[in-house]
A and B are shown apart, each in its own frame.
Chain A
Amino acid sequence: MADRIEGVKKLFTSKSAHVETNRGDAHYEKLFQSCQARIEELKTQTPSNNRLDIDDLLQDQGVNRRDFMKWASAVTGMLMLPASFTPLVADAALLMNRAPVIWLELSDCAGNTEAMLRSDGPKIDEILLDIISLEFNETIMAASGHQAEAQLEDAMHTFKDKYLLFVEGAIPMGINGQYGTIGAQGETFYDHLMRISKDAAVVVAVGSCATFGGVPAASPNPTDAVGVMDVVNGKPLINIPACPANPANMVGVIIHYILTGQVPELDSLLRPKFAFGYRIHDNCERRAHFDAGEFVEEWGDVGAKNNFCLYKVGCKGPMTFNNCSIIRYNESVNWPVGVGRGCIGCSEPDFWDKYAYERPMADANIKAPTGGVEKTVDEFGLGLLTAAGIGIGIHAAASIIAGKKEDGGEV
């Protein structure tokens, strides 16, 4: 209830999703100057910890300079900056090892770490994530136990107020956070997050669990899981939802931070507008079939073979804000709708209860916080209408009988 009251308080302060793509020459010239100064300054610093050389790494993976610059211009476009920023973006990418990153793993499946690490033949986005100065990440670090904790302490101390804190996973709040503890001291996830976020420059919640609670927070939410923005206050916070979050958007946020020293423009859910300002639906390659009313009715039918719209088998693209229909995954190789199954709205709050169903929600019959979503609404509505009809019928019948008596009495 308290959250709901808090929600109503936010009612008139919510920011709109409007995406400003052109802020005028004066703005961009000023921004260019400040970004350039920042890049020059970063170049004078030595890499904090990561000894890998980006040029060697790119060469090893068979990426030549030309491919790299093509990638840089695409990222410039994704960040909604003018083309003149491309050299700066390329420089910022090469300087990514100047940004110390601490990566926390809470209530989740490590899917975002997997997305970052396990692509088949790493693309530039993933290679760049190799060279960030990743100071701490439970999943991939060699150290364990007290040794790992010492490393975390060391990183927090060395990069105090400078590190980017990436958080993956929801925070269970039930029974004083005892649903999730970590380390030899048995620190709860909540305490762990609060302690480490205190000295962070920016907190980045990665994936749907860290942003909105995701699957752990799905009904009935037994652990009272919440997202990072529910518990961390007073820090710049960026949400990169989706299940998993797209590595391209992680890189975009880091590059934007290196380039400008600021968080990108965010919407009311603290998602970067450059990535989450659009609905999947509006840039979908199957959109024309939606307008034509050409739908896949069943898996494998003639519509499926003709790449028809997946709305009737549950695509939630019309209600989902993300850039996967534009940038796709693994450097534009493919994305869910491209492989012939609908979007499940994984970057939206409450997606597990209100989006992830292979039917339009008007025809869904799943348990959700209210005991069912639109199917329940329809059945309830039809019941209500029937009840109204029956009531009317009874009243009408009574009126007819009573009316006749009255007529009989009146002479």
Chain B
Amino acid sequence: MKAGYKQVKRMTGMMRSIHFVNIISMIVAVITGLYIADPYYQAFIAEDAVDKYVMAWNRWGHFIVAIIFDVTSIIVAYLFFFSRFEKPYKKVIPTKRNIVDFFEVLLNLLTLNRRKKFDSTHSDSFNTVYFAIFHLLLAWMLFTGLQLYVHVFPHGESSIGAWWPWILHFATDWTLVVSSWMVGTTATGVNIMDVRISHHLTMWLLLAWVAFHIYYQIWRTIFWKEGDIAIAVGGSKFVKENKA
């Protein structure tokens, strides 16, 4: 370790695992999701049907990563409030301290690191709010996705019991109404196409989110010179001894 610096732990092993599981899930979900929306490559038509299962494999992959995403989201939602390491919700509550912190971090970015009047040792309010937005988008993605999925169980039976489709209907039927409200309609009644459109648009919002996220973490690493990018890998960053 460079002299005069100390190591600060920022992400636990669990948090980092979830982070990388989410990355892989998201890449797979986008690749397979685009195929499901509009099959953009052709199966080998000369092959026998028995040898290909292209759409089914795409749907399988899409649903598997979605369900992994669902479970990690439940863990993240739990940790948001009850983590013994760092409780992110404390940084999202609009207290005076958090609001000042939020705008100081934003100013730091906008002034290209000319102004840095906050403690960058621990997770700041700006980044925590940004992560909260991600998880809200993700939650919407999961609810709309499960609504699109639940109709494969018209009889309300599934391989793991009748409770599963029931709970999916209970938890996601409201997305029909909300999607219809968001997309807009001139007809009477709601339809599942609006849920699909909303699910599809949210993918783009998430991709835009990812673009800024990756850029901003690299930017911090370069400008702050505190090894922020290592947080996601080794779990810690480095700050000057006299700071905190």
Chain A residues with a Cβ under 8 A of chain B: 4, 7-8, 10-12, 14, 16-21, 211-214, 217-221, 226-227, 229-230, 268-269, 277-279, 282, 288-295, 297, 302-303, 311-312, 316, 319, 321, 345, 348-351, 353-355, 359-363, 369-370, 373-374, 377-378, 380-382, 384-385, 388-389, 392, 395-396, 398-399, 402-403, 406
Contact stretch, chosen from B77-85, B118-126, B127-135, B152-160: B152-160
> B187: which A residues are within 8 A, CB to CB?
212-214, 217-218, 227, 349-350, 353
- Most chain A CB within 10 A, of B43, B155, B188, B197, is at B188
Q: Are B188 and A8 in contact (CB under 8 A)?
A: no
* Assembled-state Cα–Cα distance A244/B188 (Å): 17
Closest CB-CB distance, A117 to chain B, in whole Å? 26
Are B174 and A14 interface neighbours, CB within 8 A? yes
- In-complex Cβ contact of A14 among B39, B176, B181, B222 (8 A): B176
B1 within 8 Å of A by Cβ?
Answer: no
* B14 at the A interface (CB under 8 A): no
> How far is it, in angstroms, between the C-alpha of A4 and the C-alpha of B215 when the chains are bound?
38
Name 26 interchain pairs, CB-CB below 8 A, sorted by A: A8-B177, A11-B174, A14-B173, A19-B154, A19-B155, A218-B187, A230-B188, A279-B151, A290-B55, A291-B53, A292-B49, A294-B43, A295-B43, A311-B39, A345-B191, A348-B193, A349-B189, A350-B189, A351-B191, A360-B37, A370-B184, A382-B204, A398-B112, A402-B113, A403-B112, A406-B114
Given that A19-B155, A303-B45, A369-B185 are contacting pairs, would A392 and B215 also be in contact in the complex, using a CB cutoff of 8 Å? yes
Shortest Cβ-Cβ A-B pairs, 7 listed: A293-B54, A381-B204, A227-B188, A349-B189, A16-B169, A362-B37, A293-B43
Bound complex: CA A207 to CA B89 (Å)? 51
Q: Is the CB of B180 within 8 A of A293?
A: no
A21 to B157, CA, bound (A): 11
Interface residue count for B (Cβ, 8 Å)?
61
Are B165 and A370 neighbours in the complex by a CB distance under 8 Å? no
B186 touching A219, Cβ below 8 Å: yes
B211/A369 in contact, CB under 8 A:
no
Contact B154 A288 (CB under 8 A): no
The reply to whether B201 and A17 contact each other, CB–CB distance below 8 Å, is no
Please give, as numbers and ranges, the residues of chain A lying within 8 Å of B169 by CB-CB distance.
16-18
Report if B71 contacts A (CB, 8 A).
no
Cα-based distance from A360 to B114 in the complex (angstroms):
50
Interface contact B189-A389, CB-CB below 8 Å: no
B183-215 residues with Cβ-Cβ distance < 8 A to A are 183-194, 196-197, 200-201, 203-205, 207-208, 211-212, 215
Alpha-carbon distance between A348 and B43 when the two chains are bound, in angstroms? 30
Q: CA A316 – CA B204 in complex, angstroms?
A: 23
| Alpha-carbon separation in the docked complex, A403 to B219 (Å) | 11
Asked whether any CB of chain A lies closer than 8 Å to the CB of B178, the reply is yes
**Nearest chain B residue, comparing its CB with the CB of A15:** B173
- C-alpha spacing A246/B192, complex, angstroms: 21
- Chain A at the B interface: mostly helix, strand, loop or mixed? helix
**Given the interface contacts A312-B39, A345-B193, does A350 sit within 8 Å of B186 by beta carbon?**
yes
B240 at the interface (CB under 8 A from A): no
Cα separation A355 to B197 with both chains bound (whole Å): 12
* One of B55, B186, B201, B207 near A291 (C-beta < 8 A): B55
CA A408 to CA B33, docked complex, whole Å: 48
C-alpha gap A279/B153 in the complex (Å): 10
- List 10 extra interface pairs beyond A294-B43, A295-B43, CB under 8 A: A7-B181, A8-B178, A14-B177, A279-B151, A345-B191, A353-B187, A354-B194, A361-B197, A374-B196, A389-B211
Closest CB in chain B relative to A378 CB, distance in Å? 8
